[in-house]
Amino acid sequence: MFGSPTTAVQRRPAYLPHIQAEPRRPPRSLEDNWAAGPPFRLVLPRDKRDRLAACVAHLSRRQCCPVAGCMAESLPVLLVEAEQEGMLCPRHQLVLLDGSAVEGEPMLATAVW
Ligand SMILES: [Zn+2]
């Protein structure tokens, strides 16, 4: 057995808008609330893992969103596939450090502080 089935809503990354979102909602928490930990392990090639670890070690805790005019507190993240730094903004969602939006649903890493 592989555990209970999940719904499409549960599989969506937390930084994407929720399907049943209300038009005006308070900003979401950026904290990872998967307290029990995922029931799997991600397996990465050693070289990639080491590069990701080095990049994540330089992430700061919280910063302002890089989009011009947005002062929202955002969470620094690392795009795993691209090995590129980005920010999770409660207003703009996932953006690169130059403020451009990231398309798709890339896998993200955050630092463990
Ligand atoms: Zn923003």
Q: Does residue 40 lie in a domain region?
A: no
| Cα–ligand 1 centroid distance for 39 (angstroms) | 32
| Cα–ligand 1 centroid distance for 87 (angstroms) | 9
| Cα–ligand 1 centroid distance for 77 (angstroms) | 14
CA distance 68 to 49: 32
Alpha-carbon separation of residue 55 from 25, 32, 45, 82 (angstroms): 33, 20, 15, 12
Q: Does residue 70 lie in a domain region?
A: yes
How distant is the alpha carbon of residue 21 from its chain centre?
19
| Cα–ligand 1 centroid distance for 45 (angstroms) | 33
Domain count, the chain: 1
The 10s digit of each residue's pLDDT in 13-62 is: 777 776 665 555 555 555 555 566 778 888 999 999 999 999 998 888 88
Residue 70 near residue 93, CB atoms below 8 Å: no
Q: Does residue 106 lie in a domain region?
A: yes
pTM above 0.75, yes or no: no
Domain range for 89: 60-113
The 10s digit of each residue's pLDDT in 69-93 is: 999 999 999 999 999 999 999 999 9
